[in-house]
Amino acid sequence: MIIVKDLKRYYGTGETAVKALKGVSFEIKKGEFVAIMGASGSGKTTLLRILALLDDATDGEYTIRGLQVSSLPEAERSYYRLTQVGYVFQDYALINEMSAAENVYVLSMMEGKSRKKSYETALEALDKVGLKGKHKRIPDELSGGEKQRVAIARAIAKKPDILFADEPCANLDTNNSKQVLDVFKELNEKYGQTIVMVTHEPWHTEYVDRVITLEDGNLVSDEKKQKG
Amino acid sequence: MINDIRVGSLIAYCSVKRGNKKTLMFIVFVLSLIFMNLVFLPSMIGGMTVLFTGMMQDYPYGDIVIEPSGDNTYINNADNVLQKVRAVEGVRAATKRLDVGASIEHKQKVVGVTVTGLLPTEEREVSRYPYIISEGDFLGDLSRDEIIIGAMIAGTGFGSEIYDNLGEVRPGSLVDVTYSNGVKRTYKVKGIMEGTFELVDLNALVNYKEIEEVYGLEESKATSVVVRVDKQGSEEQIQDKIREAGVNEQVFTWADKSETLIKQAMQSMGAIDVMSKFVSLVVGAALVLIIIYINVLNRKKEIGILKAVGITPRSIVLSYAFLSMFYVSLGIFTGLILYLTLMFYFQANPVTFYETMEIRPQIDPVLLIESIVTMLTLSVIAGILPAWSVSRESILKAIWGR
């Protein structure tokens, strides 16, 4: 589903250039739940941002279902982000002035669905992540775990091909982290959702099928796992 | 595009619904002041213009004035002209006048004036001269050897300290008038007129017959025929009709005459008006841009997030245009309430100009519409420009707020 070939990302040029990714290659199959791990500065978040079309690679190829997405113009990348890719930010990245439901259904409206249909889709997605009855709350009225689940609902409401999550539990306590990971696990197992998650917590790997480890911008290991 | 509009309006709606109300009130208040700034001074200048032009109509020129053609000093057979004019539909009243130059002397004080010879009864329908007598009485049709003196030259009214005056002339005082042809007459002052307008208060009035006799005029000559119309605004139509009726003299509307006579004053006021509008507009545009730009900068991260999740830049830009239009619409509405409140206050308590002239600001619908359209246009530009600029930035930079 995802093929990454010799992906590089340099910040700056010449000898002072910071080489965040030095040529990473791997493939991810549909329905896989992959964790990208590594120490701080290893390039894992940079890699995820490029995969989610939030940033550009300096060099290399990146295809999703055979489409060379890395070279798409901005308008198409925007459409791709809207329809094919879900992204969960570390700090939730919700719009504070929108309720949980509005944060989710604004994307369905963007896709051209009616307001009613969008609202129903949002409620369904919020229900999926265990936030039934909390759709009218604004982010300030939700706990950290609940906010992250709204962010997940927003990412999955459009039924994306791939769900990317950038350290989704970084700001959460263990209990809330487990709730979020359980949601991912259920999405993956029940709905076959492909998930690529950046994390630095070793215990998160209990939930995933595969762990890709980066070190200093290089892929140093890629191992399949038995889910716990 | 429809989706962009729907999403843009949803984002703007949520922003207004759940945004900081104090900030909203502050923005609306500032915008209302910007709107006030755009309309208030022009309204005051409009009031001054109406005051001056009103005076031109009420005293020297009426609604329409007929003057001698070519180099002629007089309109020959003014009665014939009057007959034709009075037959024109839409003419309410008309009279003839004789304006001549003269000097007036009282107790060795001499001032130069224009003396107008008029028909007192007819003037009651044509001008306000009969109604501005501050002391004594107005002339009668049979008045002879009597004169009405303007308050400024009499030395009793405002402005006496600026202009030469006769020094406390009162009704009953005797003054010597030397006309431009050298004829000297002694008149008893019958009244003092005070129109709080220099063209009135620096003049003198006598009966039409006096001038006719002094200058030995025959066949009802006049230096002007002053006409009042039934319906204000119909002056140009009546002007044409008078010409069509066979009046071959020069026919002017009050606007034509005002343009010539107080052109400079009006041009100066017009220039102030244009400058004030321009400055207000520039200041207003800058303020609207700053307010919206700060607003957009505060939401830079939000814009990045919206882009990251797939909201199109066009929706984002539209949302800020809507938001900006909403702020400005509220600002205009509040500004209108403030403006109308001030207008009604100044209508009831006019600004006193020159100690005696009361200026009532004019509410000009065209000016209001112009200002509203200008503000709304500005709001769209002010909303679109910064949002467009931020929405073009890289998603990550926007999210990081750089």
Query: What is the per-residue pLDDT across A88-104, written as a single tens digit (0 to 9) for each?
Result: 888 888 888 889 899 98
Average pLDDT score over residue span A177-202: 86
pTM: 0.71
Q: Which pLDDT score is estimated for B263?
A: 62
What is the band of A144 on the pLDDT scale with cuts at 50, 70, 90?
confident
Residues 111-150 of A with CB under 8 A from B: 111-112, 115, 138
Contact B6 A98 (CB under 8 A): no
For residue B102, the SS3 value is strand
Q: In this model, does residue B258 exceed pLDDT 90?
A: no
Round the average pLDDT of chain B to a whole number and report it.
Answer: 85
Is the separation of the CB atoms in B75 and B81 below 8 Å?
yes
Q: Is the model more confident about B335 or about B158?
A: B335
Partner-chain residue, chosen from B6, B14, B312, that has the shortest CB–CB distance to A78: B312
Is the separation of the CB atoms in A48 and A20 below 8 Å?
no
Contact A54 B308 (CB under 8 A): yes
Tokens 């180099």 label which residue? B71
Q: Which pLDDT score is estimated for B239?
A: 92
Q: Which pLDDT score is estimated for B160?
A: 62
Q: How large a percentage of chain B has pLDDT more than 70?
A: 95
Rounded distance between C-alpha atoms, residue B26 and residue B234, angstroms? 47
Average pLDDT score over residue span B70-83: 90
Is the separation of the CB atoms in B68 and B135 below 8 Å?
no
Nearest to B99, CA basis, from B202, B249, B196: B202
Q: Which pLDDT score is estimated for B83?
A: 93
Distance from CA of A228 to the nearest CA of B (A): 31
Rounded distance between C-alpha atoms, residue A161 and residue A150, angstroms? 19
Q: How large a percentage of chain B has pLDDT more than 90?
A: 35
Per-residue pLDDT tens digits for A22-46: 889 999 998 899 999 998 888 888 9
A165-174, B233-242, B266-275 — most confident range: B233-242
Average pLDDT score over residue span A211-222: 90
What is the band of B330 on the pLDDT scale with cuts at 50, 70, 90?
very high
Distance from CA of A82 to the nearest CA of B (A): 4
Written in H, E and C, the secondary structure of chain A is CEEEEEEEEEECCHHHCEEEEEEEEEEECCCCEEEEEECCCCCHHHHHHHHCCCCCCCEEEEEECCEEHHHCCHHHHHHHHHHCEEEECCCCCCCCCCCHHHHHHHHHHHCCCCHHHHHHHHHHHHHHCCCCCCCCCCHHHCCHHHHHHHHHHHHHHCCCCEEEEECCCCCCCHHHHHHHHHHHHHHHHHHCCEEEEECCCHHHHHHCCEEEEEECCEEEEEEECCCC
Average pLDDT score over residue span B238-260: 87
Contact B309 A78 (CB under 8 A): no
Contact B14 A95 (CB under 8 A): yes
Contact A138 B308 (CB under 8 A): no
Contact A106 B302 (CB under 8 A): no
Chain B contact set for A85 (CB, 8 A): 310
What is the band of B264 on the pLDDT scale with cuts at 50, 70, 90?
low
Distance from CA of A190 to the nearest CA of B (A): 24
Contacting A with CB below 8 Å, chain B residues are: 2-3, 6-7, 10-11, 14-15, 17-19, 302, 305-313, 315, 394-396, 399
Q: Which pLDDT score is estimated for B137?
A: 93
Q: In this model, does residue B148 exceed pLDDT 90?
A: yes
Q: In this model, does residue B401 exceed pLDDT 80?
A: no
Q: In this model, does residue B232 exceed pLDDT 80?
A: yes
Average pLDDT score over residue span B34-57: 82
Per-residue pLDDT tens digits for A71-86: 788 778 888 887 888 8
